Amino acid sequence: MPIPTGFKGTVYALHQAICRNVNPIPKQVLHIMIEQYPNALDLNAFVGACENSQLSRGSMELLLDCSSPEIYQAVQLNAHRFVSIAIKKKNICTVQVFIERFPSILNGTILAHACMNGTAEIVQMILAAGVRENVGKCGGLFFTTDNREDALDIAIRLYDEKDEERRHILVTCLRYANATKMGMKVPDPNYSVILAAIGLVPRHILGSILKLYAHEVINTNQSGKHAIHKAIRMSMEKGKEYTLPPIFKSEAFIHACSHGKLELVKKMLEKSAQYSCEDVTGGHSETVFLNVIGEINALDVAIDLFDENDDTRCKILQSCIQYANAINLKRKVPSSNYPTILAAVGLVPTQVLLSIGRKFHNEIKEMDRTGKVALKKVLNMAQEEAIYATRLDMRCQYPLSIKTNRLQFSNSLKTIPQRKVYVAKQ
């Protein structure tokens, strides 16, 4: 054995055996060596074991089981340090053993260290253990380092679409963060990566993920594409007011909605898509904004008079919602297969949204799995202030068109406001 010049301590063969990377010493041989020279099993032996990525899980468990009470206690006190060494050396088995033996190490920055120096497999292992042990929110994903970064911040900062390991680390973190937002205990392994990323990453990274996982959009049906597109637009245009077609402020159109003249409503909407509001109503054309105090528009009227047991009232509101949503999607007319509840998000109060979902449930049945998941994401985003954790809310500020720390954005989320009740004159 090469011994440093001037070294006065005792050199044991166990240390060299533990550090052997090529053809690692079998567990049984290590056991014999420890029995013959128990003093060799010191903290230096554990440093070498953590640095050796080829050491088996059984061998690490043997070292722990054969340690004296004093050494075992010292290993426990230094568990965070040992795991950090193992993470840097990509020593997966050792990380797993230490997490199982000393789960208290999860209450710290070990996950952030893994996102910086480890692999996606190690990150996944730590996150799963953190969730299992109920460590913080989302398994400790949001514990901050001295630099005020958490694991997700680090995964985003170090993201490189050309580096497969870096990409998988970010995707793993996004799956767990999104699961927390969506009320899931653990992530769905088949959950769309694009949907998981929406609301959690800056715009330039979302664009990269859209490119890399384009197949998720391609493989879903048209309703699913609409839902994914809506989720992306909602994230990009956070805080932007919804606008309505000018005709929605027309007295003639409001009168048609309030008196239940469904065919006239449809006709005026179709005509307004082809011509200007003046051509349809003979009135003045101007942009209508939602939720302007004291202003009455046809959408408010259709919402206030909505009754899910009245087909006419349902279809009037459906027509208004579809055309209003089309305008905000920069289209003249709504798509024929656009789900009504999807179009209604952002335009109607929550209780009306639920009623619309019940009334037009057949449209939801026609959506595939990805589409349904995307719809749930959109509905969740519409009510994010009530559902998301406070710190998680801070990650959802848009637009994030510049590369910057997400924590710099202040919280400005608002729930969908209630509208003034409008009653038709008899």
Q: What is the mean pLDDT of residues 36-49?
A: 92
The mean pLDDT of the chain is 84
| Residue boundaries of the structural domains of the chain | 1-106, 113-191, 193-240+375-426, 243-338
* pLDDT of 346: 86
Q: What are the tens digits of pLDDT across the range 290-331?
A: 444 447 899 999 999 999 999 999 999 999 999 999 988 888
Q: pLDDT band at 240, cuts 50/70/90?
A: low
Distance CA 48, CA 53 (A): 10
Among positive and negative, which fits the CA dihedral 338, 344, 350, 352? negative
Q: Tell whether omega for the bond before 399 is within 30 degrees of 0, i.e. cis.
A: yes
Q: What are the tens digits of pLDDT across the range 11-27?
A: 788 988 998 888 889 99
DSSP state of 411: P
Inter-CA distances, 378 with 227, 326, 372, Å = 7, 16, 10
Q: pLDDT band at 239, cuts 50/70/90?
A: low
Q: What is the largest distance, in Å, between two alpha-carbon atoms of the chain?
A: 105
Asked if the model's pLDDT at residue 71 lies above 90, the reply is yes
The encoded tokens of residue 19 equal: 């550090």
Q: Tell whether omega for the bond before 349 is within 30 degrees of 0, i.e. cis.
A: no
Distance CA 423, CA 258 (A): 8
* pLDDT of 5: 56
Local structure of 143: helix, strand or coil = coil
Q: What are the tens digits of pLDDT across the range 357-400?
A: 999 999 888 899 999 999 999 988 887 643 443 334 444 443 33
Q: pLDDT band at 233, cuts 50/70/90?
A: confident
Distance CA 210, CA 231 (A): 13
Identify the CA nearest to 175 among candidates 203, 211, 145, 213: 213
* pLDDT of 332: 86
* pLDDT of 2: 54
DSSP state of 283: S
Identify the CA nearest to 224 among candidates 422, 53, 102, 376: 376
Among positive and negative, which fits the CA dihedral 401, 406, 409, 414? positive
